[in-house]
A and B are shown apart, each in its own frame.
Chain A
Amino acid sequence: MKFGVLINEGPYQHQASDTAYKFIEAAIEEGHEIFRVFFYHDGVNNGTRLATPPQDDRHIPNRWTELAEKHEIDLVLCVAAAQRRGMVDEDEMKRNSKDANNIAGKFRISGLGQLIEAGIQADRMITFGD
């Protein structure tokens, strides 16, 4: 079965991102397909490559990158939400004349249409948020 996942909260601030991660891990183990993980609201902060959590804690952005590498999962940050919060990839950096970018590996920035498409294409849509 194809699952679409929406994550609306930032890492560490809220359990939503951790619950979503555990859910996705279990879904893959059960043989389901993750059509897309869409990050919205402060959820876009999951995609920073500049996080340095204490060593004895989980590294949430890296954990997403590793999961995506292992299982070819599409991780999408909403462009409008990302721009507001200073999440910038190479293209956005050029387009908006910024001096840096900060997106972790395997994340991409795209439009809200990607969320709607997930709603259309996925068999199940589930939201983790506040």
Chain B
Amino acid sequence: MEDQELESGIVKKFIYVNRKAPHGTIYAHEALEVVLIAAAFEQDVSLAFIDDGVYQLKKGQNTDGIATKNFTKTFGALEMYDVEKLYVEKESLEERGLSEDDLSVDVEVLASSELKKLFNESEVFFNF
């Protein structure tokens, strides 16, 4: 892949902040495509799910009836790309009446006060 010629040896801490619901717009889907590429670049990748972004991880999504591609299945495959740091904001889950059991993948649920520390350590932000 041509992109891999760009390897620079520098590893930065990337954080992808996902705040949008999954199917009404393409943002979440295309954001996940960026995450997969970032992983191929051997960067330090973390994902944070805040606000409606937590809906991206809801269990049992089936898009057969709306004729869109169910990209959310890819969250289950992130481990294969060595993307293992998924953080979900506790306040956003609670506001939406959800708990960790409602989510399709293993995540770490963090209060915003904890997630804030992760943001402070991150170097490159991509907000979707």
Note all chain B residues with C-beta closer than 8 A to A80. 30, 33
- A100 to B2 Cα, complex, angstroms: 24
Distance (Å) between the CB of A82 and the closest chain B CB? 12
Distance (Å) between the CB of A83 and the closest chain B CB? 12
Distance (Å) between the CB of B119 and the closest chain A CB? 14
- A68 to B3 Cα, complex, angstroms: 23
A113 and B125 in contact, given A41-B27, A41-B30, A119-B14 (Cβ under 8 angstroms): no
- A116 to B34 Cα, complex, angstroms: 8
Cβ of B30 and Cβ of A81 under 8 Å apart? yes
Chain B interface size band reads 20 to 34
In chain B, positions 1-20 with a C-beta closer than 8 Å to chain A are: 1-4, 6, 8, 10, 12, 14
A121 and B8 in contact, given A6-B126, A111-B2 (Cβ under 8 angstroms): yes
Note all chain B residues with C-beta closer than 8 A to A113. 1-4, 6, 37, 40-41
Q: Mark A89-130, 1 if CB is under 8 A from B, else 0.
A: 000000000000000000000111111110111000101011
A116 and B41 in contact, given A111-B2, A125-B125 (Cβ under 8 angstroms): yes
Give residues in B with beta carbon < 8 Å to A.
Answer: 1-4, 6, 8, 10, 12, 14, 26-27, 30, 33-34, 37-38, 40-41, 43, 124-128
